[in-house]
């Protein structure tokens, strides 16, 4: 509960007026603790947790979500993810960042809600995955913000994916962190700015291709 309280306070400071959505309510997004947000491009944050088997306590992650679906994108699918060019062993430096569409075999999403890459049969020229990736790579301000942020987190990969229940499109990072580390990463003003900019592009793709909103 301390982690949740800290997350809510951080989101308040960011001006998002967060509110916990009770479990079982129709507007809850599954997978973790759903927190409704007041943002132009993001509908909710989802606080996820898992056990840290290497020591005491837990590990956490915060995904940001846009409610609804995009037509022709299956549930539990990664639409785009970051690929960083990194130089150096001891002092790792991010030289460039780009968005790519990962390729897979059309696996089923896991019970924990982790998404899988789309199969080749789910992709075509101009499909939603390709369109979203093109918009993201064409946003120079976003790429510069990502490069700057990833200097502090060179091992972080950011993915855009549909959840396994067909309820939302989510923006999530690959790192699971101690509760006290969340504020500097997923709950920082810099990361929120990146997530909100990504959210605008996700909504643009949905307007273009259609999909459910709720």
- The predicted-structure confidence for 21-36, as pLDDT tens digits, reads as follows 999 899 999 999 999 9
Q: What is the domain range of residue 193?
A: 2-209
Question: Does a structural domain hold residue 53?
Answer: yes
Question: Does a structural domain hold residue 89?
Answer: yes
Question: Does a structural domain hold residue 56?
Answer: yes
The per-residue pLDDT for range 156-182, each reduced to its tens digit, is 999 999 999 999 999 999 999 999 999
Report d(CA 42, CA 53) in Å as an integer.
32
Question: Does a structural domain hold residue 80?
Answer: yes
Question: Does a structural domain hold residue 110?
Answer: yes
* Token pair belonging to 18: 């967060």
Question: Does a structural domain hold residue 128?
Answer: yes
**For residue 112, what pLDDT is reported?**
53
Question: Does a structural domain hold residue 68?
Answer: yes
Cβ–Cβ under 8 Å, residues 153 and 145: no
Question: Does a structural domain hold residue 214?
Answer: no
Instruction: Kindly report whether the global pTM for this prediction surpasses the value 0.75.
Output: yes
How many domains, in total, are found in the chain?
1
Report d(CA 55, CA 96) in Å as an integer.
34
CB burial of 184-202 (b: ≥16 within 10 Å; e: otherwise) equals ebbbbeebbebbbbbbebb
């Amino acid at each position: 509960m301390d982690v949740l309280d800290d997350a809510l306070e951080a989101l308040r400071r960011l001006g998002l007026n967060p509110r916990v959505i009770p479990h079982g309510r129709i507007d809850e997004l599954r997978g973790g603790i759903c927190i409704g947000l007041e943002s132009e491009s993001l509908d909710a944050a989802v606080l996820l947790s898992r056990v840290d088997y290497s020591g005491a306590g837990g590990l956490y992650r915060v995904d940001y979500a846009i409610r609804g679906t995009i037509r022709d994108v299956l549930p539990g699918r990664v639409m785009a993810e970051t690929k960083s060019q990194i130089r150096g062993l001891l002092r790792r430096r991010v030289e460039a960042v780009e968005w790519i569409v990962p390729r897979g075999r059309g696996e089923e999403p896991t019970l924990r809600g982790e998404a899988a890459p789309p199969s080749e049969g789910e992709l075509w020229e101009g499909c939603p995955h390709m369109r979203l990736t093109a918009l993201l790579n064409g946003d120079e301000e976003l790429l510069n913000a990502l490069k700057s942020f990833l200097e502090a987190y060179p091992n972080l990969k950011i993915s855009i994916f549909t959840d396994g229940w067909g309820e939302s499109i989510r923006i999530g990072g690959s790192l699971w962190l101690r509760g006290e580390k969340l504020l500097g990463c997923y709950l920082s003003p810099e990361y929120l700015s990146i997530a909100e900019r990504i959210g605008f592009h996700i909504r643009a793709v949905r307007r273009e291709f259609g999909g459910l909103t709720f």
